[in-house]
Amino acid sequence: MNVEQELIDRSSNRCELCGSEENLSVLEVAPSDGSSEQSILICSTCKAQIENGELDETHFNCLNDSMWSEVPAVKVMSYRLLNALGRQDLLDMLYLEDDEKAWAEAGMSSGNEVVVKDANGVVLKAGDSVVILKDLDVKGAGFTAKRGTTVRNITIPADVEGHIEGRVNGMKIYLKTEFLKKA
């Protein structure tokens, strides 16, 4: 039996990430030996977003379910996508064996990660908590992010230098790191 047929049987002919039944193909979860244990069956929508790196968070809400898969390759891909989306809340719930976590991280690092520092020069990482140092008017939102507010589970956007992304008053906003300190 070939790899594609094994994946079709394993997944009941559905995308192993979002559950779609249309335009399915095999994706090797790198580093991979090409076996069905190190590959997943995904739809064209998931595949296109993974390959071009432009992830639609709404589409990948499906990871809430697929991250619980018993298939290591599906869990590894879910981990990578949740990490890319900055979904620390779900990453904290996801359980990976040591070898699965090593596999997931081996395929992620690109070597050109953005280094972001707070007002005191402390390096910030995704998932950290920060405290706002001064009142900040939030453009377009109609409120002020108050001094002393703690922002938990921040994400580091790759496209905006010198900023972090976090939730203040239930709204996801960008904050300049010069007005923050690590909590």
Q: Which of 45, 78, 106 is the last residue of a domain?
A: 106
The boundaries of the domain holding residue 120 are 116-182
Write down which residue in 87, 106, 125 finishes a domain: 106
- Give the separation between CA 48 and CA 60, rounded to whole angstroms: 13
pLDDT for the residue numbered 110: 54
Domain count, the chain: 2
Q: Which residues of 133-168 are buried (b: 16+ CB within 10 A; e: fewer)?
A: beebeeeeeeeebeeebebebbbbeeeeeebbbbeb
pLDDT along the chain (183 residues), means of 10: 89 95 93 89 94 88 93 94 89 92 80 76 89 93 93 87 91 93 93
CB 67 within 8 A of CB 90: yes
pLDDT the model gives residue 109: 56
Interval 143-174: pLDDT, tens:
999 999 999 999 988 778 889 999 999 899 99
Predicted pLDDT of residue 31: 85
Does 111 map to a domain? no
What pTM does this model have? 0.61
